[in-house]
Structure 1
């Protein structure tokens, strides 16, 4: 199907890349170096890259086969597994979206701290208060019907890409092969890797997974591009090309610095890590460029991601998987109740970061763990739909995606996954209100699902109190 007024291949690629690159890449060198040496990090990228390629393939396929499902990736959960499936997927996606905003806040305050000492490392009281004010300004703007325009997105893309390209070029210029290959597999503790993981290759790979998942959050937005493309073939091509470009950028940003700074230096860099890395390599001007780009990028991205959690619950409510109030629009066509509830929760969570040593890492790890549920349902529906239509190649893609998501839950974030399950205690109360509001009776399967998830949440609470799970 051709749409002459639609977006072309290049425009689609730019949109896909822009939607994925956020704060994560500006802090990736710190987190990856702390967990893994270059060899295990490359293997982790191979694993995560393959898993997300399966997600992209599945989203492309479902977007083509089920163009009627336009309520986000959680609509696939609803089509395959009913209102409960859509609620779990949508609730997890909503949780991941606003937790991602917490990560935006901590990274933004850290970047401002390089120019204004009053913000320190981005975790003091001043930073939290300013972040809360910023959160509510954006919330009220969105509630007034403000939407991001194409030119704003273009500006944001420029400020994201230019500093990253500069970082890659400088890292290549100062690259030292001998430093890169020293202790390539991270088995030897020495001054170059002091304070970092020196365990097995498997342990090091496992330690990087949530970080690598975090930087790919947003790739699911490509699944809706087909509706705005000049033709569907171009949309599918752009999705694959955009994914490959992202993978190349991510790998270069996270791996090349092993040859410019010691692993200990990379792991010890405070956030935003890329700015502090460049400060060590070329001086303060490098950090200034990175941090200015980061500040502009975060502000623009934060506006978009203020809309996203509210729109998520609005669409789920329209499908009658949540109470109507979550989808009720004001005169400006904004979901006021959803925006206000999300704003209050973000405020509470921002204050809690005063008691968390690694605020940014804590926020993005929870966001990464939460979205695994939504991605898992995509794989499950891909399998179900493909089996019904006897498309066994597509069924295999769905199976590989499901196995990847389950592996990530167990290998990378089982503690975070259990923490996410606690959110379903109030979540299921909201779901039950929606069931009553829509004059529907819960099935035995829905009740059984609630019992299982709530059991996991009680286990999580117990493990928090006995110290097995350390919050933050």
Structure 2
């Protein structure tokens, strides 16, 4: 590619945000939510999560505008908390992205099984082979050029939104208010009871946070945007679009059938719901949409982790090999490294029936690390510049965002967060190599050694929990 690379505009970046987030989760969110929460609790949960994600998006926009010299969300962690902080954030983001691809592979094979029964439950040998072929197809596509892949992603985003909006329209016209309000709070008394409702909200956190992974996509690709302001606008437009689609698709089903019936539907739940309204063609329509959706999201999440390791290598947080570009300006080694690890994890689908849930739980837990560093730096930067107009408001946004994501880690299952720490041990060795290549003699400070000790202890605890069955695979 020539030195004058084609930059990504508002439409392409907004599509990237939406496509990065709308993957497989939205097609199964009806059942996942019905298992965790009643209509009333689900609405409150969306308000809480919506505000929490808004704090993240506002922080990203503020930092993109105030620190245009920084690139990607990992750079905020490095600017605020040093090179090791940047590594922890970037490695968490990278881990989250390729684990998400494993979840996509599982669900895509399940969707294909609707048309081709040979795929079974999506985790047999033929499923592994086909998923592997698609995985390497993604590698070669992105390796030919990130910008051309993003252009294709815009088209895919438009295509996959069609079945989602079709479901929304049909569900609105079929909505029954008496069904929706029959068991509104899901409590024994039928009334609002704080403890029970809060428990439902907590139980739904992992589901809700999973569908927002990818919201930071425009910020990660800010260097390839037409301008930093375009990256900020894309983030807000993406959030508004996602909230509109997510809330309607997760709440409307409560007015179509009883909560218990929704919870017992197979996956993708949206297909079974639409089939109950319009006939068998509805399930086929949704499964086709799901396959297209996953393809687009898989494509986005092949670009994003490669971009992450590229930025980390440029910042001397990983070995220089990760920063090498081919003629199309794509980080071939970073892509290959990630694809091989994804391939190895895909093989585990042969040994578990819960690979999708396990993969997306790890994916969501890992991304919390990067998000917390964004809100922490937002609070730190704003406090350091508190004498300037509006900075104290930005400080409050950062603090609220940090509190929310710390709570989200606990509420959605801290065991998955601890399990992610095992992969950090591999990353630390690569980090040391990268720092040594940059000529840094003293790689860690005393405080950073404490952080490493926490990572090792947390990883050991998670391995023990996994071995004793306390973490379900």
After TM superposition, the score normalised by the length of structure 2 is 0.90
Instruction: Provide the aligned length of Structure 1 versus Structure 2.
Output: 458
CA–CA distance in structure 1, aligned partners of residues 331 and 149 of structure 2: 19
1:154: Cα distance to partner? Answer: 3.2
Q: Give the secondary structure class of the aligned counterpart of 2:216.
A: helix
Which residue is 1:65 aligned to? 66
1:455 aligns to 2:457 (yes or no): yes
Once the two structures are overlaid, the 10-residue window that deviates more, 290-299 or 44-53, is 290-299
Structure 1: tracts of 5 or more residues without a match: 191-198
CA–CA distance in structure 2, aligned partners of residues 319 and 231 of structure 1: 21
1:360: Cα distance to partner? Answer: 1.8
1:73: Cα distance to partner? Answer: 0.6
1:33 aligns to 2:34 (yes or no): yes
CA–CA distance in structure 1, aligned partners of residues 345 and 10 of structure 2: 40
1:232: Cα distance to partner? Answer: 6.8
Equivalences for residues 298-447 of structure 1 within 5 A: 298-390=294-386, 391-440=391-440, 441=442, 442-447=444-449
CA–CA distance in structure 2, aligned partners of residues 382 and 331 of structure 1: 36
Cα shift readout 1:194-252 (whole Å, capped 9, x = no counterpart) = xxxxx921221111111111111121123368778888777655543442232121010
Q: 1:330 to 1:225 in 2, by over 3 A?
A: closer
Cα shift readout 1:422-459 (whole Å, capped 9, x = no counterpart) = 11121212222222222211221222211111111111
Once the two structures are overlaid, the 10-residue window that deviates more, 87-96 or 319-328, is 319-328
Q: 1:138 to 1:228 in 2, by over 3 A?
A: closer
Q: 1:212 to 1:455 in 2, by over 3 A?
A: same
1:359: Cα distance to partner? Answer: 2.2
Once the two structures are overlaid, the 10-residue window that deviates more, 61-70 or 135-144, is 135-144
CA–CA distance in structure 2, aligned partners of residues 361 and 277 of structure 1: 21
Which residue is 1:213 aligned to? 209
Structure 2: tracts of 5 or more residues without a match: 1-5
Q: 1:90 to 1:181 in 2, by over 3 A?
A: same
Which residue is 1:201 aligned to? 197
Which residue is 2:167 aligned to? 167
CA–CA distance in structure 2, aligned partners of residues 323 and 150 of structure 1: 27
1:354: Cα distance to partner? Answer: 2.3
Which residue is 1:23 aligned to? 24
Contact 2:14 2:218 in 1 (8 A): no
1:356: Cα distance to partner? Answer: 2.4
Q: 1:343 to 1:225 in 2, by over 3 A?
A: closer
Once the two structures are overlaid, the 10-residue window that deviates more, 398-407 or 239-248, is 239-248
1:382: Cα distance to partner? Answer: 0.5
Contact 1:159 1:294 in 2 (8 A): no
Contact 1:148 1:303 in 2 (8 A): no
Equivalences for residues 60-139 of structure 1 within 5 A: 60-70=61-71, 72-139=72-139
Which residue is 2:3 aligned to? none
Contact 2:37 2:203 in 1 (8 A): yes
CA–CA distance in structure 1, aligned partners of residues 147 and 13 of structure 2: 19
CA–CA distance in structure 2, aligned partners of residues 143 and 13 of structure 1: 22
Q: Give the secondary structure class of the aligned counterpart of 2:211.
A: helix
Q: Give the secondary structure class of the aligned counterpart of 1:123.
A: coil
1:17: Cα distance to partner? Answer: 3.2
Q: 1:131 to 1:241 in 2, by over 3 A?
A: closer
Q: Give the secondary structure class of the aligned counterpart of 2:115.
A: coil
Q: RMSD over aligned Cα, in angstroms?
A: 2.5
CA–CA distance in structure 1, aligned partners of residues 227 and 435 of structure 2: 39
After TM superposition, the score normalised by the length of structure 1 is 0.90
Contact 2:376 2:399 in 1 (8 A): yes
CA–CA distance in structure 1, aligned partners of residues 7 and 468 of structure 2: 56
Q: 1:239 to 1:142 in 2, by over 3 A?
A: closer
1:468 aligns to 2:470 (yes or no): yes
Contact 1:328 1:337 in 2 (8 A): yes
Contact 1:148 1:304 in 2 (8 A): no
Which residue is 1:196 aligned to? none
Contact 2:64 2:228 in 1 (8 A): no
Cα shift readout 1:28-60 (whole Å, capped 9, x = no counterpart) = 112111111111111111111000000011001
Q: 1:14 to 1:346 in 2, by over 3 A?
A: closer
Contact 1:119 1:126 in 2 (8 A): yes
CA–CA distance in structure 2, aligned partners of residues 399 and 51 of structure 1: 11
CA–CA distance in structure 2, aligned partners of residues 69 and 411 of structure 1: 32
1:13: Cα distance to partner? Answer: 4.9
CA–CA distance in structure 1, aligned partners of residues 16 and 429 of structure 2: 37
Which residue is 1:195 aligned to? none
